[in-house]
A and B are shown apart, each in its own frame.
Chain A
């Protein structure tokens, strides 16, 4: 089956620093990747959609200058949380879709971000 990895699985940082999270599709080429955020006891909320080689599309209410997304290759997308603050502490999950016309998304294991 299609495998998506995320790195790191857990990160703790100080307020004001930037954190980069990587999402990789290991055995398929992902033309589209998605970034979700999940607060405790809540469901997943889509943050942005990224297509390889183009700018990400952000959902309403998500600051694009704070959450920088780069999808430079067909197997890698990165999410950088810039100038992180405690309210950014959350579980970040990425997913990947194989190609146009494909609708199933394959999910990474998630990254737990804690900002002190």
Chain B
């Protein structure tokens, strides 16, 4: 059974800093890994999707990496802004999506 863990559970950083969110998974036989953000009381916004054959994906200030063999992914956010405050979820797809526990990020103005 796939298990997905995200560390840390919560993170507060001053505006402008770069930061890294971590995601680990137990079963490396995946199709892809996806990072989402979720604002309080809202649905999911897809940020980046990395196919199993890829090592990383970039979108603007976001960069996600995937190391399938070690069961790890990171989401790097550059030059953080208060608008980045949200809960970030990673999800691993091996026929069905298994979500991580989430990291609640707060950017301090």
Residues of A within 8 A of B (CB): 34, 43-46, 49, 91, 93, 95, 103-110, 112
Nearest opposing residue in chain B for A106, CB measure: B46
Q: Size of chain B's interface in residues, with CB distance under 8 A? A: 20
Nearest opposing residue in chain B for A2, CB measure: B46
Nearest opposing residue in chain B for A107, CB measure: B44
Identify which of B59-67, B70-78, B93-101 touches chain A: B93-101
Which of B41, B42, B49, B99 is the one whose CB lies under 8 Å from A44? B99
Residues of B within 8 A of A (CB): 31-32, 34, 36, 41-44, 46, 49, 89, 91, 93, 96-102
Q: Is the CB of A44 within 8 A of B96?
A: no
A-B contact pairs, 24 of them (CB 8 A): A34-B96, A34-B97, A43-B99, A43-B100, A44-B44, A44-B91, A44-B99, A45-B99, A46-B97, A46-B98, A49-B96, A91-B41, A95-B97, A103-B31, A103-B93, A104-B49, A105-B34, A105-B93, A105-B97, A106-B46, A107-B36, A107-B43, A107-B46, A109-B43
A91 to B96, CA, bound (A): 19
The list of the 8 closest CB pairs from A to B, nearest first, reads A109-B43, A110-B43, A103-B31, A43-B99, A107-B44, A44-B99, A103-B93, A43-B101
